[in-house]
Amino acid sequence: EAGVAQSPRYKIIEKRQSVAFWCNPISGHATLYWYQQILGQGPKLLIQFQNNGVVDDSQLPKDRFSAERLKGVDSTLKIQPAKLEDSAVYLCASSRGQGAQETQYFGPGTRLLVL
Amino acid sequence: GQQVMQIPQYQHVQEGEDFTTYCNSSTTLSNIQWYKQRPGGHPVFLIQLVKSGEVKKQKRLTFQFGEAKKNSSLHITATQTTDVGTYFCAGPNQAGTALIFGKGTTLSVSS
């Protein structure tokens, strides 16, 4: 079974630029999560999708971050414009069902550096 | 708000020594999950605990869920260099829809 795929793996941009990350979850997984992991911290949930609907985006900075999962499969996360404090690893994860009892499978992450 | 706290933040041991990390929640948890993240890697699921007082073992790793379901621990017996990484506990948010991760305990092992 293929794992969660993410691209790009690394990205360096200047502040005020925009950037987009892509995630393809494990086949058949209905739930997709985007996390932000700042160095030395645990993953922080940004947004959670169930199929193509948003379950939780309460911690997504909506003035600059947006995400979509149009066909209920792959997803993109965008930052526009980026700030220095957005430097982090952006992790995508998926689970078969919805709920905190589900095992989450993480992708390799995208390491973003904002200069 | 709801928090999941872990101690210690860092732990260095000699190979062969034991290691324990503790996880505490500000609220009662329906379940708790543990993940391991190797340096430069991504979190990988280790185990889920559901029952009060539950103890589960995976080879040299022992996981425990407290009686009050507000704390948990991970104990590694006779650490090896392959145990290096950051161990995260994660509990459900208030809605039960997603996980809240602790800050993790980073384990380093010298041979």
A84 phi, psi to nearest 5 deg: -55, -40
Angle (CA) A18-A22-A24 rounded to 5° is 170
Per DSSP, the three-state class of A86 is helix
Task: Give me A18's structure tokens.
Answer: 């925009």
| Mean pLDDT within B107-111 | 97
Task: Give me A66's structure tokens.
Answer: 């947006």
| CB-based contact, A30 to chain B, within 8 Å | no
Per DSSP, the three-state class of A19 is strand
Residue contact A103–B33, C-beta within 8 A? yes
Residue A23 has pLDDT above 80, yes or no: yes
Residue A48 has pLDDT above 90, yes or no: yes
**Shortest CA gap A77–chain B (Å):** 18
In tens, the pLDDT along A56-104 reads 999 999 999 999 998 889 999 999 999 999 999 999 999 999 999 999 9
Residue A111 in contact with residue A10, Cβ under 8 Å? yes
Q: Looking at the partner chain, which of B4, B42, B97 has a beta carbon nearest the beta carbon of A55?
A: B97
Q: How confident is the model at residue A2 (pLDDT cuts 50, 70, 90)?
A: confident
- Residue tagged 């589900």 (tokens): A102
Residue A1 has pLDDT above 80, yes or no: no
Residue A115 in contact with residue A15, Cβ under 8 Å? yes
**Shortest CA gap B31–chain A (Å):** 7
Residue contact A106–B43, C-beta within 8 A? yes
In tens, the pLDDT along B49-92 reads 999 999 999 999 999 999 999 999 999 999 999 999 999 999 99
What's the mean pLDDT when you consider all of chain A?
96
Residue B1 has pLDDT above 90, yes or no: no
B40 phi, psi to nearest 5 deg: 80, 0
Best of B6, B42, B87 to disrupt the A interface (most A CBs within 10 Å) is B42
DSSP B35-62: EEE-TTS-EEEEEEE-STT-EEEETTEE
A residues 59-88 lying closer than 8 A (beta carbon) to B: none
DSSP A45-67: EEEEEETTEEEE-TTS-TTTEEE
**Shortest CA gap A27–chain B (Å):** 18
Residue contact B101–A42, C-beta within 8 A? yes
Q: Which residue of B has its CA nearest to A48?
A: B98
| Mean pLDDT within A49-60 | 94
| Mean pLDDT within A26-31 | 96
d(CA A56, CA A53): 9
Residue contact B30–A101, C-beta within 8 A? yes
Residue predicted with more confidence, A70 or A112: A112
In tens, the pLDDT along B12-60 reads 999 999 999 999 998 999 999 999 999 999 999 999 999 999 999 999 9
pLDDT attached to residue A79 = 98
What's the mean pLDDT when you consider all of chain B?
96
d(CA A15, CA A80): 9
Q: How confident is the model at residue B2 (pLDDT cuts 50, 70, 90)?
A: confident
